[in-house]
Structure 1
Amino acid sequence: MSTEGFKIEILDGKVVMTPRTPEQDWTIDEIKSAARRTGLTRERLVSDVAIDFPDETSSAPDVAILDNGAHRTQNRFTCVDLLAAFEVVSRPGDPNDYVLKVEKYGRYGVGVYVVADPFTRICTVFEQPQGTGYGERTEVRYGESFDVRLSTGEAFTVDTGTFPSKST
């Protein structure tokens, strides 16, 4: 959920409230634009929308890519329909994005998880979900491109050349 420029999530039993920076907003826009250019519809791309996980707190990825015909209950979706999740780091080395969400998304079989870090200027792409995280981790420096392959067979390229950076 968001309020007055803040993103509020419950992670590992704690309420985490972080302000959205312009760099986060611009990066989110670039990711969504890359997906839309290859034909993914806006109904399958959501930002900061609750995704429910059984027996755990909901998550609200900065960008979520949903399966065709994803089941919506009011303003929420379920993790069964979550094909890919993207987070843009709001503070250096954020354990929520680099540890907790890696474990959670991998455990629930989210096919692709990407962490874009404007502080290190690196995107970390996690693939091959497993019970404790992901089997494959690739780091891509800002300025390079990487492919996102969804379990539906769809794919698109994210060019990080226009991702903004942020100093610490």
Structure 2
Amino acid sequence: MSDVPVDYSNGIDPERALKYAIQHLKDDRAEIIEGVIDAAPPDWDHEAVADALREQIRARARELGCVIGSGDLDLPGSANWYVPDLAVVPAAAAKGGAALLPSDTLLVVEVTSGADEDTDRVVKRQRYAEYGAPLYLLVDRQQRSLTLYSDPGRLGYARTDGPHPYGAPVRIPAPFDIDLDTGGL
């Protein structure tokens, strides 16, 4: 790589250009993680875990006037554009088709895959906290555990509940107030 400084005086903002490019890829699961485009689709085992959680959260999300999806989350001021495995957001925020901020969510869920497990465990956990996602549920398929993070701040999450082994119930606090059955994961 060259040590020659890049001249951005032509008005091109690299963060904006990168995020524009990611939004126009044909693959709807592409993310930008610390400036690197990741377009690897999840495997079926990964999708089965996400689907099992979605089914358990669905009724409560509807009661709260929310939708569950895996839409785009922008992290302005950084070279990050995430597509979480699941996010619960107020239905009003989901209208309009634009990317949301992590702080617009009520819950973000990431399910690890072999290639990106440290990204979900470390990088995304830190970024979701920094950008105000109130609850972050990490489903670690390799460790067969779930950990819930809450009370976000610039330095990370102040509270950690877990890791809980598969099979143990995991409490998702207010506004959800539900226990996840993790036995079938």
Pairwise TM-score range, normalised by the shorter structure: 0.7 to 0.9
TM-score of the pair, normalised by structure 1 = 0.82
Aligned pairs for 1:12-31 within 5 A = 12-31=34-53
Q: Is the 8 A contact 1:53 1:78 kept in 2?
A: yes
Code of the residue aligned with 1:50 in structure 2: it is: D
In 2 relative to 1, CA 15–39 (structure 1 residues): closer, same or farther, beyond 3 Å? closer
In 2 relative to 1, CA 141–130 (structure 1 residues): closer, same or farther, beyond 3 Å? same
The secondary structure found in structure 1 opposite 2:183 is: helix
Q: What is the deviation of 1:82?
A: 1.1
CA distance in 2, matches of 1:3, 1:22: 20
CA distance in 2, matches of 1:122, 1:80: 25
Q: What is the deviation of 1:72?
A: 3.3
1:121 paired residue number: 144
The secondary structure found in structure 1 opposite 2:47 is: helix
Rg larger in structure: 2
Aligned pairs for 1:1-168 within 5 A = 7-40=29-62, 44-47=67-70, 49-56=71-78, 57-91=80-114, 94-137=117-160, 138-150=162-174, 153-163=175-185
**Higher strand residue share:** 1
Moved over 3 A (4+): 1-4
Code of the residue aligned with 1:27 in structure 2: it is: V
Q: Is the 8 A contact 1:8 1:15 kept in 2?
A: yes
1 or 2 for the larger relative contact order (CA 8 Å, sep ≥6)? 1
Report percent identity of matched pairs.
23
* Runs (5+) with no aligned partner, structure 1: 164-168
Q: Is the 8 A contact 1:145 1:157 kept in 2?
A: yes
Code of the residue aligned with 2:177 in structure 1: it is: A
CA distance in 1, matches of 2:113, 2:133: 22
TM-score of the pair, normalised by structure 2 = 0.75
RMSD: 2.4
Matched residue count: 159
In 2 relative to 1, CA 115–39 (structure 1 residues): closer, same or farther, beyond 3 Å? closer
CA distance in 2, matches of 1:69, 1:29: 23
* Runs (5+) with no aligned partner, structure 2: 1-22
Q: What is the deviation of 1:131?
A: 1.0
CA distance in 2, matches of 1:40, 1:157: 16
